[in-house]
Structure 1
Amino acid sequence: MTDLDAPGGDASPVDDDPRVGGFDLGEVPSARSIRRFTAQAARARAGASIGSLLTDLYSVVTSIAISVLIVLGVVQQLRDSLPPAPPVQEPGGLSLPMLGAFLLLAAAGALLSTAGSLGPVGTEGAQSAWWLPLPVDRRGLLRPAAARLPLVAALAGGAVVVVLEAGLLGRGGADLVRAGLLGAVTAAGVVLIAALAQSLGATRRRIALAGDAVLVAAPVLAGVVVLAGRTPATLPSPAWPVVLAAAVLAAVLAVQLDRRLGDLPGRTLREGGSVAAQAVGAVVSLDSRELGRALSGGAVAATRRRVSRLRTARGPATALVTADLVVLRRSLRHLVQLVVAAGLPLLATVVPQLASPVGVLVAVLLGGWMASSASAEGARWAEMAPILDRLLPLGDRTVRRLRMVVPGVVMLVWSLVAFAAVGRWAGATPDWLVLAVVSAPVWAAAAVRAAYRPAPRWDKPLIATPAGALPTGVLQVIARGPDLVALCLLPLWIAIGLTTVSTIMVTSQLLLSVVAVMIASSTAEKGWMERMLEEQDQRKGASS
């Protein structure tokens, strides 16, 4: 580079010139002022007043409070309907407080996995393009992003612990306050650990794998406790020193994270912000499939050391089934979900207060839907990008039926494990295994039907709800899949309620399984009633 002529005829280096491109440089603004300027510009173009902001905030707080109270009331009613706890825990059983502790451990693992998949600290696309290249302290730019997810986790964790403590264990007063505070601080600490690991160079995949390991450890530890013999009937309430120690530890983690915010590379911030934006968009659009894809992306390895030969692909049909199997095998998050789903009915049958028709029914319903949803990952990806479906010489109905093969096999294994425990609880285990075999196709059909459900029609008239404006017919879209579980598994629900299996139940379940497969094989996006009404309107228009 050449020197520029300075005033007075003396040459001075470019670095000493206070001008760049002929413009005078002023003082570089601070990161806080840049954040304020961005927020003011966004508010100026949003067209929203402070009154509308306060109204939205009031609606959100009211909706959350009402939801927590409703859930708390339902849980308390369930607790009142449960039988009283035995004074001495029988060998081979699990107390309700211990079950709550293992549920909280599983929730902590799920939170760590979710935080790792999202990337606790990230910036959106526009912020990454403008903020990151600026010659300012990056810590000041990233502090709001670093504090957002821990605060949300703290609110959610406190609410979950309060519901469990007050609903299942019946605690209140100071015990409930301490438990809620400990839950909030612990949840925030889990997210801060994930963010600190991110700042130390850990990938999102490794953080998600650590959370999945904790999630799997919860049912494994519960099984070990059951096999060990007697378990304590009650657990002590957390004391104030424990709550304060957890708060101090969370504060130390927050300080350490704040010091290392400047070390986060731009690529990591952009990836985390992109995944978080994808997840938020999926939640706003009520698309659980897109949310699952966003959470699964962080746990997928970028490269693989082993190449599969795909020897089972012998033709179009086997190629489609093999593709679904490979997708499931490579999705570690869904494999973990299958393990946890298999443990729910097992735990429900060994907890004396849950070993009732209602408790076992709820456990089978939750575990079955978790397992079937995890097994249909290939169908969900095919709904978004139907490349293989279009390339193979297969009809649409045939493709839908082939997509049920892998979920059907997985749900057959899950049903045998789950209903072996149910048979041990209710008696006549062989009869329950037969019912498990004939009911497995319903779970697979429901999972595929949910994977191929259409998106909500946002061009239809909107309905005002406490959760915001929703399009008409959105409940019908969300119910596609669960409706088969509710209707076509009716003999199974009756059998669990009566704690017995009869021939008529098995026969009815077999017929309903065939019906479920036929319904899930249909490619019609609209329901039968809606299609009938449209045909009726068309006939009236043609006659007139």
Structure 2
Amino acid sequence: MTRASRREVLELRRQAREWRRGRADTTLMEVLSDAYIALFATTMLSAMAISAIHQTRLSITDSCTTAECSDARFSSAWVCIAAMLAVTLAVGRVVGPVQVSPAEGSWLLSTPIDRAAVLRPRLALVAVVGALASGGVGAIASTLAGFGPPAIGLVAAGAMASGLGAAMLAALAQPRNGWLTRILTWVLGGVTWAALVLIAADVMPSAPTSAPWTTAAGAAVTGALWIGALALVIAGARALSRIHRNRLVPGGALLANLSGALAGLDLTMMYDILVAQKWLVRATVRPVRSGPKGPWALVWRDVIRLRRSVPSLLILASAVVVPYLVDAVDLGTLVVLAGALTLFVTGVPLCSALRTTSRNPGLVRCFPMPASTVRGACLVVPAAATVLWSLAALPPVHAGTSATWGASISIAVAMAMAALAAMARWLLAPPPNYSQGLLSSPAGGIPPGLAFSLLRGFDVLILSTAPILISPTSTGALVSLLLSAGVLGIVVGRD
């Protein structure tokens, strides 16, 4: 770099520093006040969470009396950590993990400055968030698994190192389109699923009985993990200058859109943003022509979408292990609630047509049929998938509810319909009405429907499964089916 270019870089940095400081509108006392409130709120919420986790551990310890249940608790801690690492890699691949805003990408990264100096604080933030999130999951999982205090500390420290390493691997793979992150995510997901299958089948390693050997081995493994994580941090910091601007700006734009949706407490908008990002990366698909007419044409389109979304089907099919796992840890009728919740979360990607038609009223008016018919046709394929999924989970439902096989079949179908009603409620719920009077809150005025937007779908799920949890019989299943049918009739028939 020549002397003139060095002067240009220094001048650019000086201008950026003056621009930031000249537009600062917060005093030092306001910063200290906000920091005190954040610290106080964090301490209070952390104390509440620790108390809740401790009470949950005590209740699980009292109810888990068999050797199979104890082994399942011991293995579930490691499964949770593996799942957290898979989620860390997946999130890192979606958002970057290193990212800048579009303004910074066009204003700073296009200038002759050291890109690594700009991106280094962002890499440090990613490292801290990944380490803290993984460490928290490791501490909670090991606590609920019944580990002792030294083991909880070692597991939390090892999970922090693993999360830090996963975040740095995602950063190293970012210049190469993230193919390494994609492979590792699927590998960890497969390992997690296989471990869940083994736990559900009561085939898992027993908890070790030699505490000194376990503590020494855990300390050695934790130290090795931290050494590897620090090496990855150094490698990730050195690779920052090789990340192209086109790999940095999309993640920043995605986070800005997600933060806007989160500010409005609109989870459906967040889901729409993620789906749009997915198909923006994929860009094109091969069109398929011909097919049936009328409402069955919409059903046929959903079948074609299933062929284009094989990962969604694999995730839905692999999630059937959750009811078996819940039954393995002797949670009784909670297998119905866990199954419905799992089906609700993993079944939403099957409702692409319902999501598209609910977001485009003008498109629905173009169909030569009522809007309720369009929505009903868009629910045929998700309904068939949910019923098949619930029948695959019939054995744990039968074991958990201790009902007859006939009643268990009706309970499984009611569980599927509850999940379907929750999905329809989540996707078809109208947005908050900002023309009505606002409600007063400590955060300011909010629309009446905004406060409950986070509960959409989950409220229907709890309402529909409550009769089965209270009375795990054919009568409870019938009441649940009637409630789910009523919700579906309301949300589908709404004009």
- TM-score bracket relative to the smaller structure: 0.7 to 0.9
Q: 2 CA distance for matches of 1:449 and 1:180? A: 38
Within the candidate set 59, 78, 100, 2:77 is matched to 100
Q: Deviations over 1:386-412 (max 9, x none)?
A: 564343223222233233223212211
Instruction: Kindly provide the CA deviation profile for residues 397-447 of structure 1, in whole angstroms up to 9, marking residues without a partner as x.
Output: 223323322321221122112233221443533421222224423321221
Mapping for residues 120-199 of structure 1, pairs under 5 Å: 120-169=97-146, 171-172=148-149, 174-199=150-175
Cα distance in structure 2, aligned partners of 1:308 and 1:251: 48
One-letter code of the match for 1:480? R
2:424 and 2:240 mapped to 1: Cα distance?
Answer: 43
Identity %: 22
**Counterparts of 1:55 and 1:129 in 2: how far apart (Å)?**
34
Q: How far apart are the structure 1 equivalents of 2:137 and 2:74?
A: 15
1:117 is matched with 94
Task: Please tell me whether residue 266 in structure 1 is matched to residue 245 in structure 2.
Answer: yes
5 Å-filtered alignment, 1:399-438, equals 399-425=374-400, 426=402, 428-438=404-414
- 1:112-160, Cα deviation, whole Å (9 max, x unpaired): 1111111111211100111111111111121122222221122222222
Q: What residue in structure 2 maps to residue 314 of structure 1?
A: 292
TM-score by length of structure 2 reads 0.85
Letter in 2 for 1:249: G
Checking the alignment, whether the CA contact within 8 Å between 1:345 and 1:422 is kept in structure 2 is yes
Whole-angstrom distance in 2 between the partners of 1:423 and 1:158: 37
1:391 aligns with 2:334: no
1:518 aligns with 2:493: no
Alignment CA distance shift 1:479-1:334 (3 Å): same
The 1:224–1:423 alpha-carbon spacing in structure 2 relative to 1, beyond 3 Å, is same
Deviation at 1:362, TM superposition (A): 4.8
Counterpart of 1:214? 188
**Counterpart-to-counterpart distance in 2, 1:129 and 1:421:** 55
Give the letter for the 2:133 counterpart: A
- Answer yes or no: is the 8 Å Cα contact 1:407–1:444 preserved in 2: yes
Superposed displacement of residue 316, structure 1: 4.0
Instruction: Write the distance in 2 (CA, Å) between the matches of 1:62 and 1:404.
Output: 47
Query: Do structure 1's residue 223 and structure 2's residue 197 form an aligned pair?
Result: yes
Compute the displacement of 1:81 (Å).
2.2
* Structure 1 length-normalised TM: 0.78
**C-alpha displacement at 1:297, in angstroms?**
5.1
From the superposition, tell whether residues 66 and 183 of structure 1 become closer, same or farther in structure 2 (CA, over 3 Å): farther
Q: Aligned partners of 1:329 and 1:291: how far apart in 2?
A: 24
Q: Deviations over 1:255-306 (max 9, x none)?
A: 1111111111121112222222222323233222233344445555845897
1:527 maps to none
Q: Is the 8 A contact 2:394 2:408 kept in 1?
A: yes
Give the match for residue 486 of structure 1: 462
CA distance in 2, matches of 1:515, 1:221: 39
1:509 aligns with 2:480: yes
Alignment-mate amino acid for residue 83 of structure 2: A
2: CA distance, partners of 1:285 / 1:225: 40
Q: Partners of 2:18 and 2:429 in 1: how far apart?
A: 40
Q: Which runs of 5+ in 1 are unaligned?
A: 1-15, 19-24, 525-544
C-alpha contact 2:344 2:420 (8 A) present in aligned 1: no
On the 8 A contact 2:327/2:396 being kept in 1, the answer is yes
SS in 1 for 2:288: coil
1:215 is matched by which residue type in structure 2?
A: G
Structure 2: gaps of 5 or more residues:
none
Counterpart in the other structure of 2:442: 464
Do the aligned partners of 1:153 and 1:188 also contact (CA within 8 Å) in 2? yes
Q: 1:142 to 1:306 in 2, by over 3 A?
A: closer
CA gap 1:303/1:99 in 2 versus in 1, 3 angstroms: closer
Aligned position for 1:343: 321
Q: Distance in 1 between matches of 2:442 and 2:237?
A: 41
> CA distance change for structure 1 residues 300 and 372 in 2, over 3 Å: closer, same or farther?
same
Say whether the 8 Å CA contact 2:74–2:146 is kept in structure 1. yes
Q: Is the 1:420–1:433 contact (alpha carbons within 8 Å) kept by the matching residues of 2?
A: no
Which letter maps to 1:121? Answer: V
Q: CA separation in 2, counterparts of 1:491 and 1:210?
A: 42
Q: Is the 8 A contact 1:138 1:261 kept in 2?
A: yes
Describe the superposition over 1:197-250 as per-residue Cα deviations: whole angstroms up to 9, x where unpaired. Answer: 113x134x7634642442243122331455574531358457333222222211
Cα distance in 2 for residues equivalent to 1:508 and 1:367: 21
Q: 478-487 vs 65-74, which deviates more?
A: 65-74
Secondary structure of the structure 1 residue equivalent to 2:442: strand
Residue 442 of structure 1 pairs with residue 407 of structure 2: no
CA contact (8 A) 1:161 1:180 kept: yes
1:37 Cα offset (Å): 5.4
- In structure 2, how many angstroms separate the alpha carbons of the residues matched to 1:316 and 1:38? 60
Structure 1: distance between partners of 2:289 and 2:395 = 33
The alignment covers a number of residue pairs equal to: 486
**Cα offset, 1:251, TM superposition:** 1.4
- Whose radius of gyration is greater, 1 or 2? 1
Whose helix fraction is larger, Structure 1's or Structure 2's? 2
| C-alpha distance in structure 2 between counterparts of 1:257 and 1:41, whole Å | 29
Deviates more, 1:210-219 or 1:100-109: 210-219
CA RMSD, Structure 1 to Structure 2 (Å): 3.4
- The answer to whether the 8 A contact 1:89-1:233 is kept is no
Q: Aligned with 1:314: secondary structure? A: coil
The answer to whether the aligner puts 1:279 opposite 2:258 as a matched pair is yes
SS at match of 1:369: helix
| Displacement after TM superposition at 1:515 (Å) | 1.0
